[in-house]
Amino acid sequence: MMMNNNLKILVNDQWEWDAASIGEADLIPDGDNRFHLIRGGKTYHAELLAADLDNRSYTIRIGGENFTVRLENELDQLINQMGLKAGKAHVMKDVRAPMPGLVLQLLVNPGDKVAKDDPLLILEAMKMENVLKATGEGTVKSLRVKKGAVVEKGAVLLEME
C-alpha cells in the first residue's frame, strides 16, 4: 500500500503512527466495504462501516472491534501545532450533499443547536453509510429532506441560521 510518508494515522485518538512506521501492508478488496489487510505475515479481515471524507475519518471493524481511524496530512499537523483549531467558532451555513445518495436517518430537528462535529444525518452513498457532521456552530432552521429521500450532489439537506 503506497502512502505519503508525511501522513499521520490516529486510531481511536489513542495510538498514533506515521506512514513510514506502518511498514509494508497490503489492502485487498473482498466485496462491498470489506478488505483483507495483510501486514507482517498476518491477515486481518476488515470492514469499512462509515466514512467522514471531509475530516478523513473512518470507522473500521476488525475482529469484531470498531476502530476510528483519522488521517492527518502535513497541513492538518501544522494547524494543530500552531493551535489554530482552537480559534473562534465557525458559524455554519446550509448543509449540502457532498455526493449523490440516500438519506438514511436525520439526527437533528428544526430549532436544534449544533456544535462543530455534531452528527447531523446519515447519507448512504455507494453502499457506505456516511455521517455528515456539523462544520461549525449553528441552529437548524429547517430540514429540506426526509428519511428515504434520494439526493443529488450539492442538494441542500438542512438550512442553518
CATH number of the domain at 110, please.
2.40.50.100
Measured between alpha carbons, how far is 44 from 36 in angstroms, rounded to an integer?
6
Kindly state the average pLDDT of the residues 13-37. Answer: 76
pLDDT of residue 22: 62
Residue 157: pLDDT above 60? yes
Give the predicted TM-score (pTM) of the model. Answer: 0.48
Residue span of the structural domain in which 156 resides: 88-160
In this structure, the strands spanning 65-72 and 95-96 are: unpaired
What local confidence, expressed as pLDDT, does residue 7 receive? Answer: 75
Task: Provide the residue type at 113 as one letter.
Answer: K
Same domain assignment for residues 94 and 149: yes
* Percent of the chain residues past pLDDT 90, beyond the cut: 29
**94 shares a domain with 71:** no
Burial 5-31 (b: 16+ CB within 10 A, else e): eebbbbeeeeeeeebeeeeeeeeeeee
Among 54, 78, 102, give the residue marking a domain's end.
78
Last residue of a domain, one of 27, 44, 78: 78
Across the range 104-127, mean pLDDT stands at 92
Residue 20, pLDDT score: 66
Q: Are residues 93 and 154 both part of a single domain?
A: yes
* pLDDT band for position 1 (cuts 50, 70, 90): very low
Residue 3, in any domain of the structure: no
Lowest-confidence segment of 34-43, 81-90, 152-161 by average pLDDT: 81-90
Q: How many domains does the chain have?
A: 2
Average pLDDT for residues 13-28, to the nearest whole number?
70
Query: For residue 83, is it within any domain?
Result: no
Q: Is residue 1 part of a domain?
A: no
Q: Would you state the pLDDT for residue 89?
A: 56
Last residue of a domain, one of 57, 78, 99: 78
Is 74 in the same domain as 92?
Answer: no
pLDDT, the chain, mean: 82
Query: In the predicted model, is pLDDT for residue 30 greater than 60?
Result: yes
* Contact assessment for residue 52 and residue 130, using Cβ atoms and an 8 Å cutoff: yes
Q: Over the stretch 135-153, which tens digit does the pLDDT of each residue have?
A: 888 899 999 999 999 999 9
The answer to the question of residue 132 being in a domain is yes
